[in-house]
Structure formats: structure tokens, C-alpha cells
Amino acid sequence: MKSITINGSQRESVGKVATKALRNAGMVPCVVYGGDKPIHFSAPELAFKNLVYTPDVHTVVIALEDGTKVNAILQDIQFHPVSDRILHMDFYQIFDDKEVMMEIPVRVVGNSRGVKNGGTLRIVSRKLRVKAIPVNLPDFIEADITEMKIGAKMYVTAVMDEKFNILHTDNTVICQVRTSRTAVEDEVVEETEEGAEGAEGETAAEGAPAEEQAG
């Protein structure tokens, strides 16, 4: 999984007054859990744009002024209800040999047979929660819908991988192809094509004697 580095400053004071002063200065108060003790730090709001305002997921390297570097993942984020500015962020420290849970986006690929026949693709699960050691966390989970017919559903069992565990029940639906007014079943299309070929053959057979008589 790709990683983003956030350069921050460790916070000595974590009270309301100090927190408000940080926000007024365009800084975001943050805390990292999961280690020996919580690490409080702050960083400019703009430093988080590639982490927060994107459909992709990343691990984070928090680099502090004293040279400390902490590997982490984003755990929680609070936004202002009106301005939508970032108010606070929680991170969780990760270690190379310990599994971590994370929500991974699903990337749908392929051109469904059912959609070609007029069906509608409905994506049910845009993210899946997985558990793995950091090095095995995928950037995304690929769901190939090429062979999906009208009425078909894709379950999480279709995208399982040995490198990570999907923390959903086997009957969790990723996507499905629904029918529509203009939809045509695969079998109907095939029968129509065969019927057309048969009709052409019959026409040619019927016309042959007439041509021979004319000759």
C-alpha cells in the first residue's frame, strides 16, 4: 500500500485553549494511539489533503520535528458541521509484524454481459474491511464483473486473497446486475440469432430451385 508522509510538531499542551489556538492558526490537532502511550501532534490542514480528500487509502508516516517517525493509519476524523474544515484526527500506530484492520476500496473492472444486454449494475459495497500485516494491505480490491449476467450477484468470496482476510460474512454482496425494461436475457439473444440464421438458410434453400428452373 502507498504511504504518505505528514510532517508534524509534537504538542505539549492538549487543553481546549491550546487546541483552539492551533485551529485558528490553520493547524489540525491530532493524536496517535496504539503505541506505548498516545502521541499528540499537530500539522497544517493542507498537509492532509492527499490523505482525506481522495477515494484512495494510504498508510501514513508521521514525521515529528525531533526526528521521531511513526507508521500509522487514519482511524477517525472530525469535520466542522458548517465549514467542513478538519477539526481533529485520530491515528492508529501500526507495526510490521502485527495485523491491522482497514477499510479498502473496491475497484470494479470489466464490461458485464448483463449490462451489455440492458441490465443495470448496482454496487452494494464500495469498501471492504480487511485484516492483514501492513505490507499485505492492498491499495484496492479488484472485482471483475465481465461474466456477470442479468440477475447475478458477486459475493466477497469472489475476491478473497491469501494475503489478507476479509472481515465480512460470505454472503456479503459486492455488486449485482439488475434487470430493466430494456434488458434481454442472454438465452433470448442467442435463440434470436440462431433463428435468424435458420431463416436465412431456409430462404436460400427455397430460392435455389427457382434459380435452377430459370437457368
Residues spanned by the domain of 131: 101-178
Q: 72 and 110, same structural domain?
A: no
- Residue-wise pLDDT for 180-203, tens only, equals 766 666 654 444 444 445 444 444
> 85-99: string of b/e by CB count within 10 Å (b at 16+)?
ebbebebbbbeeeee
- Residue 197 forms part of a structural domain: no
Q: 126 and 105, same structural domain?
A: yes
Q: 78 and 53, same structural domain?
A: yes
Q: 37 and 119, same structural domain?
A: no
User: C-alpha grid cell for residue 26?
Assistant: 490553520
Q: How many domains does the chain have?
A: 2
Cα–Cα distances in Å, from 211 out to 144, 204, 214? 53, 10, 5
Q: 108 and 83, same structural domain?
A: no
Name the domain boundary from 94, 116, 142: 94
- Residue 207 forms part of a structural domain: no
Residue 139 in contact with residue 116, Cβ under 8 Å? no
- Residue 212 forms part of a structural domain: no
Answer positive or negative: Cα dihedral of 17, 22, 24, 29. Answer: negative
- Residue 202 forms part of a structural domain: no
User: C-alpha grid cell for residue 196?
Assistant: 435468424
Q: Which helix (H) or strand (E) holds 172?
A: none
Q: 88 and 9, same structural domain?
A: yes
Cα–Cα distances in Å, from 136 out to 11, 32, 128, 145, 151? 32, 22, 15, 24, 33
Instruction: Name the pTM for this structure.
Output: 0.77
Q: 9 and 62, same structural domain?
A: yes
For the chain, the straight-line distance linking the first and the last C-alpha, in angstroms and rounded, comes to: 76
CATH number at residue 28: 2.40.240.10
- Residue-wise pLDDT for 78-102, tens only, equals 999 999 999 999 999 999 999 999 9
Q: How many CA atoms lie within 13 A of 59 on its CB side?
A: 22
Q: 42 and 109, same structural domain?
A: no
Q: 110 and 89, same structural domain?
A: no
Residue with cell 484512495: 56
Q: What is the C-alpha separation between 37 and 42, in angstroms, rounded?
A: 17
Residue 52 in contact with residue 43, Cβ under 8 Å? no
Q: 90 and 14, same structural domain?
A: yes
- Residue-wise pLDDT for 102-149, tens only, equals 999 999 999 999 999 999 999 999 999 999 999 999 999 999 999 999
Name the domain boundary from 77, 94, 111: 94
- Residue 203 forms part of a structural domain: no
Tally of helices (H runs) and strands (E runs) in the chain: 4, 13
Q: 106 and 42, same structural domain?
A: no
Q: 120 and 86, same structural domain?
A: no
pLDDT of 207 above 80: no
